[in-house]
């Protein structure tokens, strides 16, 4: 690859910049350049760095001397630079704020096929949000791991057995560059484990306006076990996972600072990187000469934690002896804390010495804001984290939600993008456009236009499917005849369903197989046939998930299936992209409420696909009769309810989906289908885009987190010190608060309420005294603030009063005391104290 000494405006350097900037990959601006260099390699890998690396210098010089090619490169560079130079949403609307830098931590990122350091959903969210942040101009620097093997690659044997393969990610073929110090030397950091130094190398990937910093332990100075810390994503045992999360969190924050970044906000994308909050506090201690408690008070306000786990069992937990082994010296020497104090941050019961250390609990206790990734997941998460807020009502558990979204330019097909640009006259129409404007745009085209658009997408999908199946047959040593006939029975005129997920029990990938005979009848209907494309991996340790793959493999091999179903092995970004762009209906069947959000179904929207999915995650918010179909009744059920959901799924296909697709007018147009397409595209695409999600994160979380952090660190951490002392005093005196008497007198349709209260010497301004009543029939609770009376009784007894309607019985109300938000503390994340009248 051209060296960094290449003149900055030379043709070679320009090509190198195009190859390394991930942002140009989602515009398709430069695809023809790489095709010109090596079309076959480009089609197989979509990796411009690899194409540029293998091309001979002689051929490259010949191409660069060609006036047409040179003009094309120049035009692409000019257009790309123009795009990056345009004023962004953040510059226009949020520039005059305290937000200068967000550090975004994630264990995985799905940015392009050229950088395989992802597994699935979590990486998809991280990659799409990083891309959207660049498009919007939100100043994000991301931190992740440069996995030597990434997640495993899948091969399906002749009996349906999944084989896990681990090809090497060669940094010379990836769009990453080593991080250098100002003197030009490689940036290497030391992370101290007990009795051992682990060397971590830094790399960076360019994502438009932003950077992704990557950590790599494959340094020759490390012992072999430590070099393997960044070998496999989600591989190894608990000890290896702890090493990985220490490197990501502690090493990641150090890498940020060594690279010159000083973030206001630290955003943890799931709990894997939670150790970053400790390292951020340690760094603050060192820079500001304060103790750990003040440093945590200052930095907590700038930490945002996004939880993705729908069940508590999904959180990373480590035995306390492992934490002691790897973090004991760090905690006691560098944080200046007893290990028990840090262990308490990761436990539900601080005093239980046997309780494992929970990374999600650490992240939540050290964050100024916590959010889930869909509305339903927010409710589920409030239940999961309830025990961290003892005696608080579940609806007051401080977890909001930002529903995930997808990065449209990544997942919209080139053909769909071309259609929309013709209609819109520029960028994708959902960018900064209201739903009504999108619907108006859709109203400008007739049904025939939309139907031809879908038929073209299905045709292109099956070109890929046939190539993919033929390649799989060839890999498995099939005959030439079998290779040539692979996928030949698929018909691009037939209704096509797509199902691609991780093969895990809760995702129920075999729900369609509950009644194989009924499924066969649906697939082989004489006038309304159906085709099904399946893809997905089971974790190498998930025996049940692997058996589900075998079950599908056995079903596909039945003669009656007659080529109606295909399993596309090695599910990755490339396979996903083709599926979501071409299928008519996306099927998703998780067991509610185990799908935190899901994003795959969002990707079909802008491509004209419809959803037929469980009312879980994002689809519980999006589903309506006019946009798609929902499975389930919107409630949670036991495992034995699977047969009910399967029956409903079959019935929906037979009675609604197939008729809508196959009932045509005189011109061969399925009017009811097109009507759903219009509604789905017009109302859902903008709502479930990564642009919307990142704007929401910025406006609801980043801006306030940055302001709170800067306020706490100002004037030599004066506010942070005050809040620390206040919290200590509250904790020390809270148990002595006494409710003496509550009087409620009914007068003329109102209650006159008087409360006699002993606050144990606590400052009244730091507290809120309230009347609380549970909501009727599960509705919102009623909370009435009480006002302190000027009179003070002997022995420090205070009088609080309230006046309120008498529309509920007096006994429905209970007095309580909580910390006052106006004190500056984050309630109840930072101060979860609550006292109730007995």
pLDDT the model gives residue 28: 72
Contacts for 486 with CB less than 8 Å, ≥ 6 apart = 466, 469, 470, 472, 473, 478
The segment with the largest mean pLDDT, out of 63-67, 700-704, 788-792, is 700-704
Check the CA dihedral 535-539-545-546 and report its sign: positive
323 phi, psi to nearest 5 deg = -60, -45
Alpha carbon distance 727, 760 (integer Å):
15
Is the distance from CB of 785 to CB of 805 less than 8 angstroms? Answer: no
Name the nearest CA neighbour of 474 among 487, 463, 459: 487
The answer to whether position 146 is within a domain reads yes
Name the nearest CA neighbour of 402 among 380, 368, 426, 378: 378
Alpha carbon distance 125, 503 (integer Å):
19
Residues 448 and 395 in one domain: no
User: C-alpha 735: how far from its chain's center?
Assistant: 40
pLDDT the model gives residue 699: 97
The answer to whether position 778 is within a domain reads yes
The answer to whether position 531 is within a domain reads yes
The answer to whether position 1 is within a domain reads no
Alpha carbon distance 623, 615 (integer Å):
7
Between residues 256 and 57, the one the model is more confident about? 256
Question: Which pair of structure tokens corresponds to residue 237?
Answer: 């045992």
Whether pLDDT at 224 is above 60: yes
Is the distance from CB of 213 to CB of 255 less than 8 angstroms? Answer: yes
Q: Is 194 exposed, middle or buried (0-12, 13-18, 19+ CB in 10 A)?
A: exposed
Average pLDDT value for the chain: 93
Could you report the per-residue pLDDT of 806-835, keeping only the tens digit for each?
999 999 999 999 999 999 999 999 999 999
pLDDT the model gives residue 434: 58
Q: What single DSSP character describes residue 260? A: T
User: C-alpha 274: how far from its chain's center?
Assistant: 15
Residues 30 and 67 in one domain: yes
Q: What is the mean pLDDT of residues 96-104?
A: 94
pLDDT the model gives residue 838: 83
Alpha carbon distance 371, 377 (integer Å):
9
426 sits in which H/E element = none
Domain boundary among the residues 64, 85, 106 is at 85
Residues 327 and 223 in one domain: yes
Q: How confident is the model at residue 3 (pLDDT cuts 50, 70, 90)?
A: very low
Alpha carbon distance 603, 177 (integer Å):
30
Quote the longest CA-to-CA distance of the chain: 98
Is the distance from CB of 615 to CB of 398 less than 8 angstroms? Answer: no
- Residue 376 CB neighbours (<10 A): 25
Between residues 151 and 312, the one the model is more confident about? 151
Cis before 681 (ω within 30)? no
Residues 122 and 80 in one domain: no
Alpha carbon distance 539, 525 (integer Å):
35
Domain boundary among the residues 85, 106, 122 is at 85
Alpha carbon distance 582, 462 (integer Å):
8
pLDDT the model gives residue 155: 95
pLDDT the model gives residue 762: 94
The answer to whether position 243 is within a domain reads yes
Residues 436 and 367 in one domain: no
Whether pLDDT at 5 is above 60: no
Alpha carbon distance 600, 613 (integer Å):
11
pLDDT the model gives residue 431: 61
For β-strands 303-306 and 369-372, DSSP reports them as parallel
The answer to whether position 400 is within a domain reads yes
Residues 209 and 345 in one domain: yes
Q: What is the mean pLDDT of residues 101-117?
A: 96
- For 763, the domain range is 737-836
Burial letters for 274-284: b for 16+ Cβ neighbours within 10 Å, e otherwise? Answer: bbbbbbbbbbb
Could you report the per-residue pLDDT of 725-777, keeping only the tens digit for each?
999 999 999 999 999 999 999 988 999 999 999 999 999 999 999 999 998 87
Q: Is 12 exposed, middle or buried (0-12, 13-18, 19+ CB in 10 A)?
A: middle
Residues in the chain: 838
Q: What single DSSP character describes residue 117? A: B
Residues 393 and 423 in one domain: no
Alpha carbon distance 566, 569 (integer Å):
9
Could you report the per-residue pLDDT of 110-147, keeping only the tens digit for each?
999 999 999 989 999 999 999 999 999 999 999 999 99
Question: Which pair of structure tokens corresponds to residue 126?
Answer: 């991280």
Q: Which CATH number covers residue 778?
A: 2.60.40
Question: Which pair of structure tokens corresponds to residue 354?
Answer: 């046997």
Q: How confident is the model at residue 407 (pLDDT cuts 50, 70, 90)?
A: very high
Cis before 593 (ω within 30)? yes
Domain boundary among the residues 28, 52, 85 is at 85
Q: How far is CA 371 from CA 102, 557, 679, 688, 812, in A?
A: 16, 45, 29, 17, 31
Residues 76 and 105 in one domain: no
User: C-alpha 295: how far from its chain's center?
Assistant: 28
Burial letters for 766-791: b for 16+ Cβ neighbours within 10 Å, e otherwise? Answer: bbbbbbbbeeeeeeeebebebebeee
Could you report the per-residue pLDDT of 240-285, keeping only the tens digit for each?
999 999 999 999 999 999 999 999 999 999 999 999 999 999 999 9
Residues 672 and 744 in one domain: no
Could you report the per-residue pLDDT of 560-595, keeping only the tens digit for each?
998 999 999 999 999 999 999 999 999 999 999 999
Q: How confident is the model at residue 61 (pLDDT cuts 50, 70, 90)?
A: confident
The answer to whether position 300 is within a domain reads yes
Residues 483 and 400 in one domain: no
Residues 473 and 619 in one domain: yes
Q: How confident is the model at residue 356 (pLDDT cuts 50, 70, 90)?
A: very high
The domain tally of the chain equals 4
Is the distance from CB of 48 to CB of 16 less than 8 angstroms? Answer: no
Q: Which residue has the tokens 């990453």?
A: 176
Name the nearest CA neighbour of 584 among 631, 527, 532, 623: 532
Question: Which pair of structure tokens corresponds to residue 227?
Answer: 């070099």
Residues 554 and 483 in one domain: yes
Q: How confident is the model at residue 27 (pLDDT cuts 50, 70, 90)?
A: low
Q: Which CATH number covers residue 355?
A: 3.40.50.2000
The answer to whether position 91 is within a domain reads no
pLDDT the model gives residue 11: 74
Angle between helix axes 57-65 and 67-85 (nearest 10 degrees) is: 80
């Amino acid at each position: 690859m051209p060296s960094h000494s290449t003149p900055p405006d030379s043709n070679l350097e320009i090509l190198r910049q195009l190859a390394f900037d991930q942002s140009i990959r989602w515009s398709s601006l430069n695809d023809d350049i790489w095709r010109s260099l090596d079309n076959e390699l480009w089609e197989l890998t979509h990796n411009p760095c690899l194409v540029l690396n293998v091309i001979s210098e002689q051929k490259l010089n010949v191409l660069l001397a060609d006036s047409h090619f040179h003009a094309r490169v120049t035009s692409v560079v000019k257009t790309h630079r123009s795009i990056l130079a345009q004023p962004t949403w953040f510059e226009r609307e949020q520039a005059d704020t305290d937000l200068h830098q967000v550090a975004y931590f994630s264990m995985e990122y799905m940015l392009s096929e050229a950088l395989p350091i992802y597994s699935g959903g979590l990486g998809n969210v991280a990659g799409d949000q990083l891309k959207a942040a660049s498009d919007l101009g939100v100043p994000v620097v991301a931190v992740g791991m440069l996995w030597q093997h990434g997640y495993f690659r899948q091969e399906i044997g002749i009996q349906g057995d999944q084989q896990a393969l681990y090809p090497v990610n060669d940094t010379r073929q990836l769009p990453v560059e080593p991080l250098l110090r100002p003197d030009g030397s490689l940036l290497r950091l030391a992370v101290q484990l007990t009795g051992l130094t682990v060397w971590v190398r830094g790399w960076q990937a360019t994502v438009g306006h932003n950077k992704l910093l990557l950590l790599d332990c494959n340094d020759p100075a490390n012992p072999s076990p430590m070099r393997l810390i960044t070998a496999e994503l989600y591989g190894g045992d608990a000890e290896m996972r702890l090493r990985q999360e220490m490197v990501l969190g502690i090493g990641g924050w150090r890498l940020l600072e060594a690279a010159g970044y000083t973030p206001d906000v630290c955003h943890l994308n799931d709990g894997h990187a939670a150790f970053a909050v400790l390292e951020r506090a340690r760094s603050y201690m060192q820079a500001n000469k304060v103790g750990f408690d003040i440093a945590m008070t200052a930095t907590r306000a700038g930490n945002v934690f996004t939880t993705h786990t729908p069940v508590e069992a999904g959180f990373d937990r480590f035995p306390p002896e492992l934490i002691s082994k790897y973090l004991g010296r760090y905690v006691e020497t560098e944080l200046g804390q007893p290990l028990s104090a840090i262990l308490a941050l990761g436990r539900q019961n601080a005093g239980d010495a046997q309780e494992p250390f929970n990374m999600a609990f650490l992240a939540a206790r050290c964050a100024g804001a916590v959010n889930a990734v869909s509305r339903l997941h927010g409710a589920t998460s409030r239940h999961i984290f309830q025990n961290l807020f003892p005696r608080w009502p579940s609806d007051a558990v401080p977890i909001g939600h930002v529903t995930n979204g997808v990065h449209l330019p990544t997942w919209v097909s080139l053909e769909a993008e071309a259609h929309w640009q013709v209609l819109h006259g520029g960028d994708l129409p959902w960018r900064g456009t209201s739903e009504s404007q999108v619907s108006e745009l859709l109203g400008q085209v007739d049904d025939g236009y939309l139907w031809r658009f879908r038929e073209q997408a299905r045709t292109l999908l099956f070109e890929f499917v046939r190539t993919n199946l033929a390649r799989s047959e060839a890999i498995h040593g099939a005959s030439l005849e079998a290779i040539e006939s692979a996928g030949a029975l698929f018909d691009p005129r037939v209704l096509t369903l797509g199902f691609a997920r991780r093969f895990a029990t809760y995702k129920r990938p075999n729900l369609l197989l509950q009644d194989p005979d009924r499924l066969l009848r649906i697939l082989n209907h004489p006038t309304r046939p159906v085709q099904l494309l399946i893809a997905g991996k089971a974790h190498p340790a998930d025996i049940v998930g692997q058996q589900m793959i075998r079950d599908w493999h056995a079903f596909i091999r039945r003669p009656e299936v007659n080529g109606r179903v295909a399993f596309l092995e090695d599910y990755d970004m490339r396979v996903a992209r083709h599926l979501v762009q071409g299928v008519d209906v996306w099927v998703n069947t998780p067991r509610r409420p185990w799908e935190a959000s899901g994003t795959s179904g969002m990707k079909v929207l802008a491509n004209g696909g419809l959803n037929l999915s469980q009312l879980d995650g994002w689809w519980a918010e999006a589903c309506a009769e006019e946009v798609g179909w929902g499975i389930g009744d919107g409630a949670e059920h036991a495992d034995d309810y699977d047969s009910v959901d399967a029956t409903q799924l079959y019935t929906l296909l037979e009675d609604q989906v197939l008729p809508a697709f196959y009932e045509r007018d005189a011109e061969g147009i399925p009017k009811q289908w097109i009507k759903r397409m219009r509604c789905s595209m017009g109302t859902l695409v903008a709502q479930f885009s990564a642009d919307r999600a990142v704007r929401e994160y910025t406006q609801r979380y980043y801006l306030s987190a940055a302001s709170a952090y800067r306020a706490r660190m100002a004037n030599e951490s004066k506010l942070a010190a005050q809040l620390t002392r206040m919290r200590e005093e509250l904790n020390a005196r809270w148990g002595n608060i006494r409710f003496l008497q509550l009087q409620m007198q009914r007068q003329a349709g109102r209650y006159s309420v008087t409360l006699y209260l002993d606050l144990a010497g606590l400052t009244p301004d730091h507290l809120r005294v309230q009347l609380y009543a549970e909501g009727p029939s599960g509705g919102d609770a009623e909370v009435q603030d009480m006002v302190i009376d000027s009179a003070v009784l002997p022995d420090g007894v205070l009088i609080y009063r309230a006046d309120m309607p008498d529309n509920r019985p007096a006994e429905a109300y209970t007095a309580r005391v909580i910390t006052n938000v106006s004190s500056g503390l984050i309630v109840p994340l930072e101060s979860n104290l609550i006292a109730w009248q007995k």
